[in-house]
């Protein structure tokens, strides 16, 4: 049974090119699928991606108008097996489920799909259910992408970019004959925003047309000796093709900053939280203008060594903001820099938690740690609003006079200081009046 009805919102998906749409993330993904000329869609329910299946179910009339086949699959394995339609035919197909338990159920079918490769674009929209509110064990989709050599998109939570990444995901899949996973965290699934629509497209070939004109390529069947050649093909041909496509189409993003000595690398899905964290530290604004350059990984696998080396040239240190364990990205970047003899120092899990969801506050503390280690004094020198962490001065909280002395020194030269009082032993009103009396 559907969690909610989207019948009213589905009518918005008929909008043509140039129309500005304002909607929820999962509706935008559905619109992007229609714009991509997808031939078939399916999936299995599971938070945080359940509503995407609800939208597809409510949009069956619209899907039928374009000859798009829809299935509400019995399991994730069944959905993944359906993607085999893209192996021998130029059919674009998309399925969706909850990760990582859903991906585990589908992993056998995915491994076969990734081994033989695809002709038509194959996209797996995965609902990443990681963090304190997760209903499953704490694991990451990244490991499955690495295991089977499938490419992993982790788009910045902006609906214009998310819709573009869905369409680019199909193109990347076809350019490298490889299935592509698109990872959406819960905030991306349910964020509301605006984007400019394009026309919906009928598929170049429908599922019915493919069934009426059967094609079979025995070299794509995952049996010896073909399966040994598939691995060679993955590394020698498909990987370089994917890297070339990602670089040429600039799927990853670079944001300039005033201080080129340092930089931050962040998974695309965490970009908004990073911007908020920098805003809290006084190193950026709400619109993404920051003091520090940012390399935003909308594609987290494969990683592009050349882009990293370009970003790190001339920098003293970078911070890798990577949620969860193992720290795949940080390890890979460390290897890349060392092999290229680039001496930029990498900070990551030494400043950020080894586990748990990276909220804005968590990232703020990590950036604060990074800057105090890599560029002492930057926060105090550059921030117009200082973030004061009372935990660092807990010993001074016992006596009012100590706090007054601390405030007097810390406030000098700043237009605004936010004072957070944790101790109940000294009334806030008294502290503020004492501070004011000292100027």
Cβ atoms of residues 195 and 160 within 8 Å:
yes
- 192-196 vs 20-24, strand pairing mode: antiparallel
Alpha-carbon distance of 109 to 112, in angstroms, equals 5
Alpha-carbon distance of 26 to 187, in angstroms, equals 10
Digit-by-digit pLDDT tens for the chain (439 residues) are: 456 788 889 999 999 999 999 999 999 999 999 999 999 999 998 888 888 999 999 999 999 999 999 999 999 999 999 999 999 999 999 999 998 889 999 999 999 999 999 999 999 999 987 777 677 777 889 999 999 999 999 999 999 999 999 999 999 999 999 999 999 988 888 889 999 999 999 999 999 999 999 988 888 889 888 889 999 999 999 999 999 999 999 999 999 998 899 999 999 999 999 999 999 999 999 888 999 999 999 999 999 999 999 999 999 999 999 999 899 999 999 999 999 999 999 999 999 999 989 999 999 999 999 999 998 877 765 544 444 443 444 444 444 444 333 444 444 444 444 444 443 333 333 333 333 333 4
- 299-301 vs 151-153, strand pairing mode: antiparallel
- What structural domains does the chain harbor? 7-248 (3.40.50.970), 253-385 (3.40.50.920), 388-437 (no CATH)
pTM value is: 0.85
Label residue 117 left, alpha or beta by phi (over 0 means left) and psi (-120 to 50 means alpha).
left
Which tokens belong to 182? Answer: 């698109």
Return the percent helix, strand and coil in the chain, to nearest 5. Answer: 45, 15, 35
């Amino acid at each position: 049974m559907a969690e909610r009805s989207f019948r009213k919102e589905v009518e918005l998906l008929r909008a043509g090119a140039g129309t500005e749409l304002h909607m929820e993330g999962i509706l935008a993904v559905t619109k992007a699928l229609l714009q991509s000329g997808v031939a078939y869609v399916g999936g299995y329910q599971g938070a945080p991606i359940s509503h995407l299946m609800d939208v597809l179910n409510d949009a069956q009339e619209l899907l039928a108008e374009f000859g798009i086949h829809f299935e509400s699959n019995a399991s994730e394995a069944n959905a993944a097996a359906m993607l085999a339609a893209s192996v021998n035919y130029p059919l674009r197909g998309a399925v969706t489920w909850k990760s990582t338990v859903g991906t585990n159920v589908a992993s056998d079918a995915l491994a076969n799909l990734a081994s033989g490769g695809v002709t038509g674009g194959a996209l797996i929209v995965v609902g990443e259910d990681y963090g304190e509110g997760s209903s499953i064990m704490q694991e990451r989709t990244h490991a499955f992408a690495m295991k089977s050599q499938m490419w992993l998109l982790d788009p910045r939570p902006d609906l214009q970019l998310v819709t573009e990444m869905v369409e680019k995901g199909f193109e990347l899949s076809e350019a490298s004959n490889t299935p592509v996973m698109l990872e959406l965290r819960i905030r991306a699934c349910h964020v509301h925003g605006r984007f400019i629509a394009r026309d919906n497209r009928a598929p170049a070939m429908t599922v019915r047309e493919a069934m009426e004109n059967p094609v079979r390529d025995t070299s794509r069947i995952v049996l010896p000796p073909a399966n040994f050649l598939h691995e060679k093909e993955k590394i020698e041909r498909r990987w370089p093709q994917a890297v070339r496509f990602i670089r040429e189409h600039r799927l990853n993003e670079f944001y300039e900053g005033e201080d080129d000595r340092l930089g931050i690398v962040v998974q695309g899905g965490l970009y908004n939280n990073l911007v908020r964290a920098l805003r809290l530290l006084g190193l950026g604004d709400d619109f993404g203008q920051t003091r520090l350059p940012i390399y935003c990984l909308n594609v987290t696998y494969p990683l592009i060594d050349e882009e990293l080396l370009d970003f790190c040239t001339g920098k003293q240190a970078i911070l890798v903001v990577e949620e969860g364990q193992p720290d795949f990205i940080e390890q890979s970047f460390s290897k890349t820099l060392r092999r290229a003899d680039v001496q930029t120092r990498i900070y990551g899990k030494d400043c950020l938690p080894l586990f748990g969801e990276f909220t804005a506050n968590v990232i703020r503390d990590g950036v604060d740690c990074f800057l105090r280690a890599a560029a002492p004094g930057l926060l105090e020198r550059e921030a117009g609003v200082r973030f004061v962490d009372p935990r660092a001065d807990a010993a001074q909280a016992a006596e009012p006079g100590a706090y007054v002395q601390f405030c007097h020194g810390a406030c000098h030269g700043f237009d605004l200081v936010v004072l957070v009082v944790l101790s109940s032993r000294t009334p806030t009103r008294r502290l503020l009046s004492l501070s004011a009396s000292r100027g």
